[in-house]
Structure 1
């Protein structure tokens, strides 16, 4: 039964996968360590692989602080280092500073969570600083009395300005995902699913679609 539930999002995604512009695999590891009452340190590592880029094309390493405000609300911020590759060669690096706020609450049988993130971006291929908003919303539904949940999520990318390294103000892309999460223990969670990323056609750029299988391992101490 567990194997069927984990495979379900992948079966749903199969027809779209075959028609996509690029096929990808995203592997994520997250960690959260409490350091004081209502305060924790967050760590994240993301490795993304692409057919079009010949394998690994992006690594993100992030570290930050999170502060609980009560009633499911929190604020936080941190730093992200991004390295982009194409067929084994580094093409660009990026340094991001980010601040964010979010919430988690129950809505009937669903668990709803959301986040609004503001990023300050500096890229190695230009001199100007870019700012970007990333709103995210997620709904999860428990599967009976098990430790599994079905989830669906949406995230939009909204650059706020134009830069000399290619950022243009406006709605740039969106990510929609579905999948299954499993609370393996009090400290460990596992999540797998399918993510559809659509880059909007604008400023002379044609649209692009990425179909990614995603896997996330989370540790909370």
Structure 2
């Protein structure tokens, strides 16, 4: 992993103690100052107490599925109190983590302004890339959120994403839309009046043409309109 600038903080919220211990060990060794939490309320109290200059050099690694409060609920509260979101200045970058590969949750996370969505177990390079993007934001909201906030059009998709998307047939695009909506193949087949086997074939073509490693990876690309 590349060297980390001094004083960059990571707040890790995950109810799995083993995962937190491993992640904290690795991230601390990489040069980050890591604060880990099992309890969502304690994490929220700590994040709400951050001064603006602390938010500007911090990032939240947030588990999606947790008891008492889900990651999405934690994110909502942080938006409501002005720690992150389109109106926050600066805004705390949020990177979601999940071991379930839940596509609808991935969409909701990205719609809330998450930097990205990582599926456990993730490779070190994927986490490094996500953190690099988070800190590139410099505490500002993601471009898509900023565009909505100021009434500007959203930034266009990256050229490579657009190139990959253009290789899909009309039917493959319809299947892609269904997959990103979280629909199972049987539902997509019924809506498109085709067989489930045909849907599965189109799904495999979509994954290959979009060069997606998983459904969560595919969802990240579609929602963010980026290939990373």
Higher strand share: 1
Higher helix share: 2
The bucket for the TM-score relative to the shorter chain is under 0.3
TM-score (norm 2): 0.25
TM-score (norm 1): 0.26
